[in-house]
Structure 1
Amino acid sequence: MSGLDDVIAAETSLSEVDGLNGRLVICGYRLEDLAGRTDWENVLNLLGGRMLPESAALRERLGMARQRAFAETRWLDDGIAALSITEGLRALMARLPDGEDQETALLLAAAPSVFVPALIRCKRGMAALPPDPALTHAADMLAMLHGRAPRAEAVAALDTYLVTVSDHGLNASTFAARVVASTRAGYTSAVLAAIGALKGPLHGGAPGPVLDMLDAVGSPEKAGRWIGEALTRGERLMGFGHRIYRVRDPRADALKAALARLGAAGDVDRERLALAEAVEREALAQLKVKKPDRPLQTNVEFFTALLLEALGFPREAFTGVFAAGRVSGWLAHAHEQIEGGRLIRPQSRYVGPKAA
């Protein structure tokens, strides 16, 4: 079956994606009850279960793990700096020890938040900044990026994003992580496989082109004409439609609310926000008319792009920031697969030429 649509490949207690009703449930909690109301460490604790320390110790241990991860940035040489940020992240992650123990899981959970800011700064000709284990995970990631204490509104916005993308059913990267984990190769091998899948433009590489689209539109008054011409040419509008959700993506609403709070604090360019609102309004209206048989609503990528841009992440780093949030789900699924103890080995149907 092409794409394995509707094939049940695993049973999980981690997240449920209800595409028909636009619901995402993580460990029994609706996304709306988590995003904007708690931080990533709490969701990591929910997903991690027995794989990670008790919640009282998790924050301190995670801060210490960020310090251990930072030691690996000494290997960030010109060769790694010349790679894309996603490929550089994969290269640095590959240096981490493999295993199925708690310390390995903590190190893997912490590392992307350290490596992504380090790679961004390196590409700008700046030195990587060490983490501060006393800060929250999101606050430390922003501090390592900008070299200053972040505003509370920015920390809350990044936390909302990391929580929103923490887990999302059996997507391509999570499935890759589960397949590798089922071989007992170790958590690091599973996460590396997931990053490899996330690198693809059909998965984690999509938010950046949303900004390319906004740049091409240019101004709110040009949105209607630009979108109409793009649809006439048969082009895909980035940030609209989702393979699973038949209605609005609930993650889009969580990020739109976070962006609004960030804008109220003066941390979002008003002209950029007005342009995005015009593009969303025109896109939804024209998609409804020109593709009435397809449910093409705003998806998580549209507001991800705007939020991460407002927080100061360059668009080429968006996939890496995605990994910093989704690593919680990858690790949780890897652990769940290992506990099940079953090697993933599906069958295929041969459709080639018959032997003589």
Structure 2
Amino acid sequence: MSTVIPNTGNTPQKDTMTTNSNTTKPNKGGLEGIVAATTAMSKVDGTAGRLIYRGYNIHDLARTTSYEEILHLLWFGHLPDEQELADLRARLVAARTIPDTVMQSLRSLPAETDPMDALRTAVSTWGALKIKGKPTVDQAIALTANFPLFLAAFNRLRHGQEPLESQTELSHAANYLYLLTGQVPSNEHVRGLNSYLVLLADHGMNASTFTARIVASTESDIVSAVVAAIGALKGPLHGGAPSKVQDMLREIGTIENADSWLRNAITTGQKLMGFGHRVYKTTDPRAEELREMARVADPEGFKMSRHVEERALALLDELKPGRRLYTNVEYYSAALMNSVGLSGDLFTPTFAVSRVGGWTAHILEQVSNNRLIRPEAEYTGPENLPFTPLNERKK
């Protein structure tokens, strides 16, 4: 059955972008402070450090729910009962299959291909084969079910291994780890990855979600919108930073070297990876959850990560007072994903494995009450220049 999710928001989408002060033509880079749409999906409260999915605090969800429950919450508007959850899990399992054409495209990619590029290629190829018409929940389920398959298949191929068949009895998180390694994962690893998927599933009008909604607003298909979102997530200012946190910690090397390295980085204007967020003016609630998960999953690695965090915050307060920088979700994402055995270049694609749930939910919400997203730009170039014909122009 193909269905389009209803708009469960309480207010209609706005026709124009507005600011909190109700001005319609702000002059601020990056659209900061602009209200571009209404949504019932998630609320990011940057001042209080809160993240809410459809009314539920992220701390409660991260500690108690499965990723499949979060998908149901985002797509259908409420947490599932046992039968609803069983039905959704069955639909996800039934969709776990890679068409031969998609597998051929993955086999044709060079081993050095960035996994995000491989994921984008596989999703686009799959969409050309599978998707027609207006975005539906069935399409969202199929896309989300296949993200881990595409990524794991490419990862094995680039290491000279054959892709594996999904295990129907395994959860979304467990099946992904199995497809990567060929081993049924430990309960500890499954819990860690599942919580990560829950925490990253949605986050308001972030760059990739906004991109997906813009494409959907043109009445394009769901795969085109998701492929565009993948491109946005790939950027290091959005989802491409977790592996760079790992690189930074590796460069610091030891706890004893942390102060001198951090002081030099801060005084010379280097960016501390995993610190600061465009919205949060206090601790990122997702980082709080991931910190505790990393403490349990990798006690030795956690000591280094925690020490660098504490010293960085102290030095930032000393050297850059008033900046109010805190660790963000990417800082401890790196530690957690490393603890479950993922290589650094799989961190951002695994972010996509989670966020596709939010992307597709936002796409469905957009098309349920659609208006083309078409903001204005403030023109800063010259006007009224005299025109000169080509044969009269001189350097």
Q: For residues 265-298 of structure 1, what are the alpha-carbon distances to aligned partners after superposition, in whole Å with 9 as ceiling and x for unaligned?
A: xxx2x44222212211111111111111111011
Alpha-carbon distance between aligned partners in 1 of 2:322 and 2:193, rounded to the nearest angstrom: 35
| Displacement of 1:226 | 1.0
Match of 1:347 in 2: 376
Contact kept? 2:67, 2:194, Cα under 8 Å: yes
Q: For residues 29-55 of structure 1, what are the alpha-carbon distances to aligned partners after superposition, in whole Å with 9 as ceiling and x for unaligned?
A: 000010121111000000011799953
Contact kept? 2:165, 2:179, Cα under 8 Å: yes
| RMSD of aligned alpha carbons | 1.9
| Displacement of 1:103 | 2.9
The answer to whether 1:196 aligns with 2:231 is yes
**Greater displacement, 64-73 / 252-261:** 64-73
Match of 1:56 in 2: 86
For residues 249 and 189 of structure 1, do their structure 2 counterparts lie closer, same or farther at Cα, with a shift above 3 Å needed?
A: same
Please tell me whether Structure 1 or Structure 2 has the larger radius of gyration of its CA atoms.
2
Match of 1:21 in 2: 48
Alpha-carbon distance between aligned partners in 2 of 1:283 and 1:4, rounded to the nearest angstrom: 29
TM-score by length of 1: 0.94
**Greater displacement, 51-60 / 73-82:** 51-60
The answer to whether 1:105 aligns with 2:140 is yes
Alpha-carbon distance between aligned partners in 2 of 1:12 and 1:180, rounded to the nearest angstrom: 16
Alpha-carbon distance between aligned partners in 1 of 2:236 and 2:162, rounded to the nearest angstrom: 29
Amino acid across the alignment from 2:75: G
Amino acid across the alignment from 1:309: N
The 5 Å alignment of 1:150-161 reads: 150-161=185-196
Alpha-carbon distance between aligned partners in 1 of 2:115 and 2:245, rounded to the nearest angstrom: 18
Match of 2:242 in 1: 207
Contact kept? 2:137, 2:364, Cα under 8 Å: no
Contact kept? 1:70, 1:131, Cα under 8 Å: no
| Displacement of 1:69 | 6.4
Match of 1:296 in 2: 325
| Displacement of 1:251 | 0.4
| Displacement of 1:67 | 2.6
Alpha-carbon distance between aligned partners in 2 of 1:77 and 1:351, rounded to the nearest angstrom: 47
Which one of 78, 86, 91 corresponds to residue 121 of structure 2? 91
Task: Specify every segment of 5 or more residues in structure 1 that has no aligned partner in the other structure, as ranges.
Answer: 263-267
The answer to whether 1:177 aligns with 2:207 is no
The 5 Å alignment of 1:229-244 reads: 229-244=264-279
Alpha-carbon distance between aligned partners in 2 of 1:156 and 1:255, rounded to the nearest angstrom: 12
Q: For residues 187-215 of structure 1, what are the alpha-carbon distances to aligned partners after superposition, in whole Å with 9 as ceiling and x for unaligned?
A: 11110010010011111101111011111
Alpha-carbon distance between aligned partners in 1 of 2:101 and 2:300, rounded to the nearest angstrom: 41
Alpha-carbon distance between aligned partners in 1 of 2:365 and 2:52, rounded to the nearest angstrom: 17
| Displacement of 1:255 | 0.8
Contact kept? 1:48, 1:332, Cα under 8 Å: yes
Secondary structure at the counterpart of residue 24 of structure 1:
strand
Alpha-carbon distance between aligned partners in 1 of 2:110 and 2:371, rounded to the nearest angstrom: 36
Contact kept? 1:69, 1:114, Cα under 8 Å: no
**Greater displacement, 302-311 / 224-233:** 224-233
Alpha-carbon distance between aligned partners in 2 of 1:71 and 1:354, rounded to the nearest angstrom: 52
**Greater displacement, 343-352 / 32-41:** 343-352
| Displacement of 1:119 | 1.9
| Displacement of 1:82 | 3.7
| Displacement of 1:66 | 1.7
| Structure (1 or 2) with the greater helix fraction | 1
Which one of 328, 337, 355 corresponds to residue 308 of structure 1? 337
Contact kept? 1:36, 1:157, Cα under 8 Å: no
Which one of 318, 323, 331 corresponds to residue 347 of structure 2? 318
For residues 235 and 337 of structure 1, do their structure 2 counterparts lie closer, same or farther at Cα, with a shift above 3 Å needed?
A: same
Secondary structure at the counterpart of residue 76 of structure 1:
helix
Contact kept? 1:80, 1:88, Cα under 8 Å: no
Amino acid across the alignment from 1:6: G
For residues 251 and 69 of structure 1, do their structure 2 counterparts lie closer, same or farther at Cα, with a shift above 3 Å needed?
A: farther
| Displacement of 1:180 | 0.4
Which one of 278, 287, 301 corresponds to residue 252 of structure 1? 287
| Displacement of 1:80 | 5.2
Which one of 63, 66, 72 corresponds to residue 39 of structure 1? 66
Task: Specify every segment of 5 or more residues in structure 2 that has no aligned partner in the other structure, as ranges.
Answer: 1-27, 386-395
Amino acid across the alignment from 1:141: Y
Alpha-carbon distance between aligned partners in 2 of 1:102 and 1:167, rounded to the nearest angstrom: 17
Match of 1:265 in 2: none
| Displacement of 1:225 | 1.2
Contact kept? 2:52, 2:58, Cα under 8 Å: yes
Alpha-carbon distance between aligned partners in 2 of 1:184 and 1:354, rounded to the nearest angstrom: 34
Secondary structure at the counterpart of residue 16 of structure 1:
strand
Contact kept? 2:208, 2:233, Cα under 8 Å: yes
- Please list every run of at least 4 consecutive aligned residues from structure 1 whose deviation after the TM superposition is greater than 6 angstroms: 50-53
Match of 2:151 in 1: 116
Which one of 130, 154, 157 corresponds to residue 165 of structure 2? 130
Contact kept? 1:69, 1:107, Cα under 8 Å: no
| Displacement of 1:170 | 0.2
Amino acid across the alignment from 1:122: L
Contact kept? 1:70, 1:115, Cα under 8 Å: no
